[in-house]
Structure 1
């Protein structure tokens, strides 16, 4: 580039650009909001190998392998993904990095799209990794490059912690040329890379020394910025996106913005805080920085003024600063939105999961153990057919434990568990194998595998069975044949768009006294752009029973037709993708395909 090029990038895109510019070679991830876009962006660069791995553990292992060979590597995931990746990660931190290694954790303050709100700065400290916390897109790019360099300089993996709003928010970013960094090849020193007790014991001292050196680096690191405001005796310590919210408020306080939130230089922290009478820590979620300072013996306050959960926006921060006595008069905020009817999330038009949960709602199943994916929506109104959701793949292990508890107490009612295909490949196979252990013939468990052959909830990324629908996807694992190879002898497969046949099969398997598995398949209507001739309602035949409406497909609604007193069902032709479920549940055949209509025909809606 002859001159500095600037672009408006999301935080995710900026991380991808930073990895590319830093000479990154291998990047792996499992798709999960808010970090999906990082790998999607990296796929634009031929110089980088990037993949969506089977799960986060595998993604970290792929990146570790590249790092061991001396290539710069990165693993990205949402915050709960680090839980899955923790096994290799916690041991990898004992080894010296050969090529720079960066773990990107997308934390989710406010639980915009997550089952919990864990603060992965805690994971970073637990794993003895230095933690970088960018505040905007430019820093997201810069800290990615810095993290890879520090990883090589200090011989350890680095954690880049980014939050949902920063992942998706946009900012101006200055671009640079790619730095080519050649892999150094693998150092076959067993004492450093074979983590068995003799080497691991020695590595504990290596980690301790590394953290000491990182703390020394943090003393005058440029990414930790002190902004002095004359005439004030108050210091605010913060990091991340919260910094800009504080700047907009412009309180009467100096600000120490930490780019590296762990380790914090105790010497620098004491030098700076000793200049002020009042030290306030403002951070989202857990009091991580606050606790680090208190462990150093530094008097500070934070969470007694600010929420421990959710995002900290300008209003939240002003309220906290008012409680702390930093702001004397608090602004009065006026709602800038109009109250509207609540619109809970729904399955997409034509979603193959919809008929399954409509059938379960009408079935004799009182307990349905749910899992993570699009089908998590089945826990909400109007289906309300997932009674528990914990983590990916948990439905299978939980259903076994629940069934055993039921059997021990002589409870015989049916138990149903559901799991999606993406989740099946992510972490469902081990609990399926475990299901075979000490399984009793008369224990009634019906497991439904929802196979739409994509990882739909995060944008339609591939999974292990996607190649059965797409020539461009190279994994073609048949779930039914895989389960049969494990040893299950009652595995049925059916197209879930065939409503009546699917209902008959599900009802039969729920009634079966034993373990049975149903693989229901049908393409994700959104990913595979399902678009058949739309359906329409003949209002003269419709009896207003609402059977179609109860399937809760978005194009369906009740409406008033001219010359007809009662409300009758109708279908928005612009939204309908022609899945035909509504027509199949109609008891009087009032819903028909438009396939046979000619131009100019009147169809009543």
Structure 2
């Protein structure tokens, strides 16, 4: 059972219970804590925290252009004495860390809680970094809930801890916490007093001399935090009857341990940095062996070993992925020299593989189809739905590292090319929100350093990958209200791209897009092609009449299949021999008219003109059923 019930959360007597995800529970607690400002940049698995917060009254919420700005907004509110909140996924703190590493010196006035959601298991991220490092690196406390109830309770506790020690507090979540639902006892909103901003250049102006004076205060605060961790109710011991192996764990890994070994002693860390070494040492002395179960890096294990406490950890457990019972039980059985439990039975009928793809009528489909027609091109990609362009049928993406990196990588590919690659074309692909997040600086660098790069700026008016959230390019704020909309043409020109090298193209007009790409990649200077069509999942998109295939006219050329639209289905494949003796593969298709939105992308490459609107046929559509 979760220990959250023992945590004081200032709930009123007439509290109610709601079924909530961890993200929703955190949002509720931020509101209950009386926070006045909340900011974030969307990123799975943290996105829903701010989306839920935006539905509560009495709190200002915003989608910021990136995580660094969101943390600075939250810090400004905390400097003014208001409780504030910031949320991001794990890689977002890489962007925000510049601000974090100095605010740990200034401290805060109003409570400031930073939720960082780690994607353990790489469900939707390019890496699996462990955000617990930030607590150590920045010398700030770190709390780790294990379920939705604790996500709520620990958020409230984090605000109290932040104000007690005048320090930002990190709330470390994982996908397992963010998206799994449970019953949560909730309360009502409190209204803490707001002190207001008090000028103090020795604290708020971090020139070297001022920062030097704040360093001893930071280390003194950390010593006091260590003492607080020793007595915190967020850390608890559960002594079981089978003391052959005791476990030290935190976060959702606690749930896996408790499920796997219900009779084993467990030290559950909720306040996991600084570590309560005295309590952990006393716990270890009561067990024959101690195994540290942590996701994903051996942080606790290493720190305990440095204290001379004998523990076992990553020498028997994996360094990546969730530590589920299927992982824990065999590992502990091997440690004890016992037979390993039988593996879970394999399904008799494996699930048919369904690789991720773009949506029906996605405006990025035509972009990647067009890129796949080019030769001698290196394509530097970025983070977004359009990252899927690396796969079939396009195979039109050669690199993707991090948000905004397409620009810098493209310039490096240009400047670092070999003599044999001088005829190679360099194209950078980036989405509208990613461009505003971290791509503008890269384009400025390309212009300033005279890079020979063609940039494809894909404007679909949404943060499509995380659910269609709004951004400064959509013309709406987080509440759906009208907001100033960025003019990308004027913006890229302001960054120095010459007027004649900036083109605004309809993403569905494939001939125009192909011609523009061919022309611009021949020009040895920076150019930008902006494709403008809304994401098909947002209200700005308006579907047209769907299309169908005239079976008798379809020659099996398969050109429409290369567009990659999921509404196009191959019904039959044949291999025929041409008069020249060359064998060719034919793919006869149908269009799922119920899914088709009439974008017309498949019309352009269709050689026999076999694709028509459903209502233009003189006879009823023949429905082809496939098993």
Cα pair 2:329 2:340 within 8 Å, conserved: no
Instruction: Say if 2:269 is the partner of 1:261.
Output: no
Instruction: Say if 2:139 is the partner of 1:128.
Output: yes
Cα offset for 1:432?
Answer: 1.1
Question: Which one of the candidate residues 358, 366, 379 is aligned to 1:347?
Answer: 358
Cα offset for 1:538?
Answer: 1.2
Cα offset for 1:506?
Answer: 1.3
Cα offset for 1:437?
Answer: 2.1
Q: Which residue pairs with 2:494 in the alignment?
A: 485
Cα offset for 1:124?
Answer: 1.8
**1:307-366 Cα distance to aligned partner (Å, 9 max, x none):** 100111110011221222186552432134731331100010110000010011111243
Question: Which one of the candidate residues 130, 151, 157 is aligned to 1:146?
Answer: 157
Instruction: Say if 2:412 is the partner of 1:401.
Output: yes
Q: Which residue pairs with 1:119 in the alignment?
A: 130
Distance 1:306 1:384 in 2: 36
SS at match of 1:192: helix
- From the superposition, tell whether residues 410 and 510 of structure 1 become closer, same or farther in structure 2 (CA, over 3 Å): closer
Cα pair 2:472 2:485 within 8 Å, conserved: yes
Distance 2:506 2:394 in 1: 20
Give structure 1 stretches of 5+ with no counterpart: none
- From the superposition, tell whether residues 343 and 146 of structure 1 become closer, same or farther in structure 2 (CA, over 3 Å): same
SS at match of 1:406: coil
Cα offset for 1:373?
Answer: 0.5
Cα pair 2:382 2:405 within 8 Å, conserved: yes
Q: Which residue pairs with 1:547 in the alignment?
A: 559
Write the mapping of 1:45-60 to structure 2, written as runs, cut at 5 A. 45-60=56-71
Instruction: Say if 2:253 is the partner of 1:242.
Output: yes
SS at match of 2:81: coil
Cα pair 1:449 1:518 within 8 Å, conserved: yes
Instruction: Say if 2:607 is the partner of 1:587.
Output: yes
**Matched residue pairs, number?**
596
Cα offset for 1:550?
Answer: 1.4
Instruction: Say if 2:201 is the partner of 1:181.
Output: no
Instruction: Say if 2:402 is the partner of 1:391.
Output: yes
Deviates more, 1:243-252 or 1:167-176: 243-252
Instruction: Say if 2:527 is the partner of 1:516.
Output: yes
Distance 2:476 2:180 in 1: 36
Q: Which residue pairs with 1:91 in the alignment?
A: 102
Write the mapping of 1:144-223 to structure 2, written as runs, cut at 5 A. 144-223=155-234
**1:281-330 Cα distance to aligned partner (Å, 9 max, x none):** 01111011111211212111100111100111110011221222186552
Cα pair 2:446 2:453 within 8 Å, conserved: no
Q: Which residue pairs with 1:454 in the alignment?
A: 462
Distance 1:215 1:2 in 2: 32
Distance 1:468 1:10 in 2: 26
Distance 2:480 2:279 in 1: 57
Distance 1:370 1:328 in 2: 48
Distance 2:523 2:447 in 1: 17
TM-score, normalised with respect to structure 1 = 0.95
Distance 2:571 2:380 in 1: 36
Instruction: Say if 2:622 is the partner of 1:604.
Output: yes
Distance 2:591 2:420 in 1: 48
Question: Which one of the candidate residues 535, 546, 558 is aligned to 2:547?
Answer: 535
Distance 1:337 1:519 in 2: 49
Question: Which one of the candidate residues 593, 598, 610 is aligned to 1:573?
Answer: 593
Cα offset for 1:267?
Answer: 2.0
Q: Which residue pairs with 2:582 in the alignment?
A: none
Write the mapping of 1:458-473 to structure 2, written as runs, cut at 5 A. 458-467=466-475, 472-473=481-482
Cα pair 1:69 1:184 within 8 Å, conserved: yes
SS at match of 2:39: strand
Cα offset for 1:274?
Answer: 2.3
SS at match of 1:466: coil
Question: Which one of the candidate residues 67, 73, 84 is aligned to 2:78?
Answer: 67
TM-score, normalised with respect to structure 2 = 0.92
